[in-house]
């Protein structure tokens, strides 16, 4: 199989951040598939410190999340948000657990793409932990918010640019 025919390689290159969504709800089956993709991410010592909270558009917390980020319009446009937290009692290494949360997030974004849905990784929302976790009804002594994924059925085509690989290399291969 040539690399250009590889489904995973193609998904990595084709996935885009989507910030506009239709009003069509994401099915419970699709959300479960997305969460399972996150569940299978690697973590140091296999500690799996991530915890998930799905906030649907009809949940009052969905609108309240819009007040926790300058990207509130994206949250408002989404039909669901997946909040990824770290359970502080399950953590063993801050750096490794943050890396694991990133892998978990990427798994979910790839699953969302594979399902024909759209999403964007919202990171700025984590800057005020007390406010964001408070809206979610969670204790900041127990959880650390890592990511909110705003998702739905895409109402736009995404675009992306990447630097040349040579610009990223410290040494040539």
pLDDT 10s digits, 67-98: 999 999 999 999 999 999 999 999 999 999 99
pLDDT confidence tier of residue 4, bands split at 50, 70 and 90:
confident
Cβ atoms of 51 and 107 within 8 Å: the answer is no
Cβ atoms of 121 and 149 within 8 Å: the answer is yes
More confident residue, 4 or 116: 116
82 closest CA partner among 30, 12, 5: 30
- Would you say the pTM of this structure is higher than 0.85? yes
pLDDT confidence tier of residue 1, bands split at 50, 70 and 90:
low
pLDDT tens digits, 138-147: 999 999 999 9
With vertex at residue 150, the alpha carbon angle to CA 133 and CA 84, rounded to the nearest 5 degrees, is: 45
Per-residue pLDDT at 2 exceeds 80:
no
Complete domains list, the chain, with CATH: 14-154 (3.40.109.10)
Average pLDDT in the chain: 96
Cβ atoms of 63 and 54 within 8 Å: the answer is no
Alpha carbon separation from 153 to 62, 115, 146 (Å, rounded): 17, 10, 23
Q: Give strand pairing partners of 86.
A: 50, 144
């Amino acid at each position: 199989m040539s690399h250009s025919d590889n489904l995973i390689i193609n998904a990595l290159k084709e996935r885009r951040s989507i910030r506009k969504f239709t009003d069509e709800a994401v099915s419970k089956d699709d959300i479960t598939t997305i969460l399972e993709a996150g569940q299978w991410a690697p973590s140091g010592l296999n500690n799996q410190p991530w915890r998930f909270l799905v906030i649907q558009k009809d949940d009052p917390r969905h609108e309240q999340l819009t007040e926790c980020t300058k990207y509130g319009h994206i949250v408002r446009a989404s039909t669901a948000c997946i909040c990824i937290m770290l359970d502080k009692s399950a953590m063993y290494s801050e750096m490794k657990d943050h890396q694991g949360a990133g892998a978990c997030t990427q798994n979910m974004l790839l699953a969302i793409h594979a399902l024909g849905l759209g999403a964007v990784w919202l990171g700025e929302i984590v800057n005020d932990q007390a406010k964001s976790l408070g809206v979610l009804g969670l204790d900041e002594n127990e959880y650390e918010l890592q990511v909110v994924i705003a998702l739905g059925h895409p109402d736009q085509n995404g675009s992306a640019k990447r630097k040349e690989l040579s610009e990223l290399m410290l040494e040539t291969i």
